[in-house]
Structures are given as C-alpha cells and as structure tokens.
Amino acid sequence: MKIAVFSTQSYDKEYLDKFKEDLNLTYFEASLNTSTVSLTKGYDVVCAFVNDKLDKETIDTLAKNGVKAIAMRCAGYNNVDLTAAADNNITVMHVPVYSPHAIAEHAVALILTLNRKTHKAYNRVREGNFSLQNLTGFDLYNKTVGVIGTGEIGAIFCKIMLGFGCKVLAFDMVESAELKSAGVQFESMENILKQSDIISLHCPLTPKTFHLFDEEAFAKMKKGAMLINTSRGGVIDTSAVIEALKNRTLGYLGIDVYEQEDKLFFHDLSESVIQDDQIQRLISFPNVLITSHQGFFTKEALDQIAITTLKNITNFASGNTIENEVKLNK
C-alpha cells in the first residue's frame, strides 16, 4: 500500500519514519489541494494535515487517481468535504486524541506571557534594558476564566486554571459532572462573556461555531478582557477582533490559530512581503501574541499523532475495524 504524505515538515518525517515499520510512505512538502492533487496518482492513501484543502474537486480527483482513504494526522477535519468522500467511497480517518495537555498548557502559556509580558522582558534584558516600565501584569488568582468547550482539552484547561485559584465558568452543549464536582460552573454564553476576565476557546470549528466571536460577542464582553484561541481560527471573526482591539473593548488577544493561516503558518516567510493585511495589523498591536499553530508541538503529541495515524492506515489496509473513522452524519 502506497501512502502520499502532504504538507510534510522535517518533524513529520522524523516521527512517521520512527513508527512506520513496513509502510511505504512518500513525502511531499506541498500542501494537498486542487493544484497538487495530480501527485496522488498511483497512491492508495493520502495523509493530510490541518491546512490541506480536501474540497469536492480535490476529493473527486483523488477518487479518479485511485485513492481509497484519507488519513488526517490531526484531530480536526473541517477542511475535508465528508459528503464528497462518502460519495466517492473514500474512508476518512483522524487522530481524535494525541496530547490534550499540550494544547491546554499552550493556552496557559499564552495567558501568562500576555499578562506578565515575559516576551517583552526577555527582549529588553538582552538589550541591556532592565526597566520595568509598562510590564505591569495582574494576579490570576481570583480572576474569572470562561472556557468555551469542555472536551478533553477544555477540561484539562479548566483544571489547570482552578489550580491557579481562578473562578472557572464553562459553556458546552454537554455539561460535565466531573468538572462540576471540581468546582467549574456551567453558564450561558452571555454570562461568560459578561463576567470573564479571560476567555479561552476549546471548541471545534462547525457551522455553529464559525465566527462565534463576532462584533456582537465582543460588544458583550467585559471591557479589557483577554481572549485566547487554541482551537480553530474561524471561531473568531478577524475583522471584528481587530475593531475590538482598536476601540479597547478587548484588552488582550492570544492566538495559536488564524482564520487565513493556510498561506502563512508552518512556513518561513521572513524574507517575504506578507500580503495578508489582517495578520500584519494584528502583529502591530502591543497586546496581541500570535504563535503559529504550535500548541500540539510536543514530543509526546508528535509520538501519538504518528502512532495513531499509522495505526489507522494499517487497520484500513488490513480490513480491520477503524476506531478513528470519520463518518458523515446524515
């Protein structure tokens, strides 16, 4: 069975090769889309990542090229047209869990860095500037933290913030008895927006969560609050968040994901003129911290992603039950 791996970075090859055993993997640095799908001819499986575009046109061509399965090496699959995959009898698999602690901990790192301005202090000290001017932060203790989405990552994040002595409010369609017993209070979205000093997003990108944080949501937020997003870029309306930062409704923004990240993240553009005006505007704010989708990026997570991805492919090839198959909900 031949597998084409797209959007390959050096660490992808390192960790997949570590566990691949007898699987035949071919690596492509290019992302998978309508322009590159011709490369899949003769392959049985494609292995894709978060910013590959598996729309109907791409999937129809995959089927014509003989591809029988799509193995996503990530949890999200909002970039896959599941209807087109089902119509073409192409199996879709993903990695539902790898290291939820990695992403939850990265969300906390964004909070601490934005609050205590350690990134600015680091740069100052390297230049011989030991001034504390404009580095004032605030105690996390006793602050109200709102959590949108209490799946595995959101639940771990809740527990970490409880450890800081925060009051934790949460919103999810299914309320967790375990989190309630730990001290988390489940509230309506509106109450979370009004009461929270910090809001952290841990929900998937669906039609219901697309631009969940728009102009209306920002208008309801506590003035000067901090917003953290380690879920999916499309949960935040970028134009609206820029306006909220400009008019000081939003006090801080920390994001590890971005609505138009597919043209930016995972690439070295240091010698390029970046054409995305919105990301440039966000970078210009002193109270904005952006990381390039690195929340998952720990040794433990990379191990688990590789192991689960390859296990999915092996199960598909052998006709065994695929525990992590993504099925179209009709």
The tokens 């969940």 sit on which residue? 212
> Does the pLDDT at position 330 exceed 70?
no
pLDDT digits (tens, 9 = 90+) for 113-132: 999 999 999 999 999 999 99
Which candidate in 232, 259, 267, 271 is catalytic? 232
The pLDDT assigned to 263 comes to 87
Residue 108: name the closest of 37, 194, 221, 200 by CA: 200
Buried-exposed string 122-143: b where 16+ CB fall within 10 A, e elsewhere: eebeeeeeeeeeeeeeeebeeb
Angle at 17 between CA 12 and CA 23, to 5 degrees: 115
The pLDDT assigned to 161 comes to 98
Cβ pair 110, 256 in contact under 8 A: yes
Residue 48: name the closest of 84, 22, 83, 12 by CA: 12
Q: What count of residues does the chain have?
A: 330
Of the chain, the percentage scoring pLDDT greater than 90 comes to 95
pLDDT digits (tens, 9 = 90+) for 15-66: 999 999 999 999 999 999 999 999 999 999 999 999 899 999 999 999 999 9
> Does the pLDDT at position 255 exceed 90?
yes
**Residue 106 appears among annotated catalytic residues:** no
The pLDDT assigned to 76 comes to 87
**Residue 261 appears among annotated catalytic residues:** yes
The pLDDT assigned to 150 comes to 98
Cβ pair 251, 287 in contact under 8 A: yes
Q: Is the pTM of this model over 0.85?
A: yes
CA distance 256 to 290: 6
SS3 letters for the chain? CEEEECCCCHHHHHHHHHHCCCCEEEECCCCCCCCCHHHHCCCCEEEECCCCCECHHHHHHHHHCCCCEEEECCCCCCCECHHHHHHCCCEEECCCCCCHHHHHHHHHHHHHHHHHCHHHHHHHHHCCCCCCCCCCCCCCCCCEEEEECCCHHHHHHHHHHHHCCCEEEEECCCCCHHHHHHCCEECCHHHHHHHCCEEEECCCCCCCCCCCECHHHHHHCCCCEEEEECCCHHHECHHHHHHHHHCCCEEEEEECCCCCHHHCCCCCCCCCCCCCHHHHHHHHCCCEEECCCCCCCCHHHHHHHHHHHHHHHHHHHHCCCCCCECCCCC
> Does the pLDDT at position 323 exceed 70?
yes
Which candidate in 261, 300, 323, 325 is catalytic? 261
CATH pick for 100-290 out of 1.10.460.10, 3.40.50.720, 3.40.50.300, 2.20.25.90: 3.40.50.720
Q: In what order do the strands lie in the sheet with 24-27?
A: 24-27, 2-5, 45-48, 69-72, 91-93
Average pLDDT over residues 3-11: 97
* Superfamily covering domain 2-98+299-318: NAD(P)-binding Rossmann-like Domain (3.40.50.720)
**pLDDT averaged over every residue in the chain:** 96
CA distance 148 to 154: 7
Could you check whether 2-98+299-318 and 100-290 share the same CATH topology? yes
Which candidate in 293, 300, 323, 325 is catalytic? 293
**Residue 248 appears among annotated catalytic residues:** no
pLDDT digits (tens, 9 = 90+) for 194-253: 999 999 999 999 999 999 999 999 999 999 999 999 999 999 999 999 999 999 999 999
Domain ranges of the chain: 2-98+299-318, 100-290
